[in-house]
Amino acid sequence: MSHPSPVVMSMGDPAGIGPEIILKAWNTWRDRAGAPPVLALGDTALFEATARALDMPEPIKVAAPADAAHAQSSGLPVFDVGPGLDAPAIPGQPDPANAASIKAAIEAGVGLCLDGQARALVTAPIAKSVMYDAGFSFPGHTEFLAELCAEQPMDLPRGPAMMLAGGGLRVVLVTIHEPLARAISLITPDRVEAIARLTHSALQRDFGIARPRLALAGLNPHAGEDGALGNEERDMLNPLAERLRGDGLAITDALPPDTLFHAEARAGYDAAICLYHDQGLIPVKTLDFHGGVNITLGLPIVRTSPDHGTAFNIAGRGEARPDSLLAALEQACAIAECRQ
């Protein structure tokens, strides 16, 4: 008898809230009729200790991802990755010694998705500074996932690009984790065009939107006021938008960001192309602080993540909310279904 493939969840930083929200999300998810099973990737002992602290059922160690469906009703299914943690997992006290285990869980999730044993990967938060201290050479999850998938063929534009979704809003970032002064220098016609085309194809493939509508955010106040407050819109963004429209993309000229995100404006587009990190994240987190989702576009696998960090300040207290992780699971399943 075949079993439905699970959505796999990498553990994130063991000193953060990742193990806690994974357990809490499973406790809600297992009761959803028709929902595929979930499977945690990481250290079984870590999840066992977390479950005891939360007074929740003991996790169940499984031998293979296919076992998750049978185990899910009794306890969180966990697939051990690697030899275990190299240092004790102390809530709120991250240790670079565990970076190898964090990385191994992500790699395992990608591998299971690529070989068809999992339908999607949801990643719990990592702390970039901790990973950097251990020699991690990527700016974050997004770039690492792209490297792991780099050799896989794709018949659509390749990313990665970061989409944030929540509160009825989708934004896609042209630049991500860059200091603002550097981000401005990275906003080039080629980069904006690549993100716009990738977003267009991803909305079709991953969200089932036949004719996507894109809104392009301006860089300057009032979208430059025709050059009075900056030239980027007049000289770069608007000519690019016109050319993209000529190629069949429904995209606006650069619009003033301060009027782009209210309810009436959001009704006019399916995703907004935002030029730098805070331009996109502030409206998403204002609209849905607890339920925002990070979605990686342009990968051969489905990957989502909660739109928050490791929350070391509340780790181990039992206070972490699984809302964003549950939303990430829902979004991952919806995208996987669209792709099928």
Is 221 among the domain residues? yes
d(C-alpha 283, C-alpha 167), whole Å:
9
Number of domains in the chain: 2
Is 75 among the domain residues? yes
Q: Examine the domain organization and report whether 237 and 267 are in the same domain.
A: yes
Q: Examine the domain organization and report whether 207 and 132 are in the same domain.
A: no
Is 292 among the domain residues? no
Q: Position of tokens 């190898």?
A: 100
- Residue 216's Cβ-side half-sphere holds a number of Cα atoms within 13 Å equal to 30
DSSP 8-state assignment for residue 214: E
Of 50, 30, 46, the closest CA to residue 38 belongs to: 30
d(C-alpha 312, C-alpha 314), whole Å:
5
Q: Examine the domain organization and report whether 178 and 254 are in the same domain.
A: yes
Q: Examine the domain organization and report whether 127 and 27 are in the same domain.
A: yes
Is 304 among the domain residues? no
Q: Taking the model in full, what pTM does it have? A: 0.94
Q: Examine the domain organization and report whether 80 and 197 are in the same domain.
A: no
Is 62 among the domain residues? yes
* 3-state SS assignment for residue 255: strand
Q: Examine the domain organization and report whether 128 and 221 are in the same domain.
A: no
Is 211 among the domain residues? yes
| Contact predicate 216/241, CB 8 Å | yes
Is 271 among the domain residues? yes
Q: Examine the domain organization and report whether 316 and 268 are in the same domain.
A: no
Is 301 among the domain residues? no
- What domain range includes position 29? 1-154+310-340
| Contact predicate 292/324, CB 8 Å | yes
| Contact predicate 116/3, CB 8 Å | no
Of 146, 47, 157, 139, the closest CA to residue 101 belongs to: 47
Q: What is the pLDDT tens value at each position of the chain, 340 positions in all?
A: 456 899 999 999 999 999 999 999 999 999 898 899 999 999 999 999 999 999 999 999 999 999 999 999 899 999 999 778 999 999 999 999 999 999 999 999 999 999 999 999 999 999 988 999 888 888 888 899 999 999 998 887 899 999 999 999 999 999 998 999 999 999 999 999 999 999 999 999 999 999 999 999 999 999 999 899 999 999 999 999 999 999 999 999 999 999 999 999 999 999 999 999 999 999 999 999 999 999 999 999 999 999 999 999 999 999 999 999 999 999 999 999 999 8
Q: Examine the domain organization and report whether 135 and 69 are in the same domain.
A: yes
Backbone angles phi, psi at 144, to 5 degrees: -65, -45
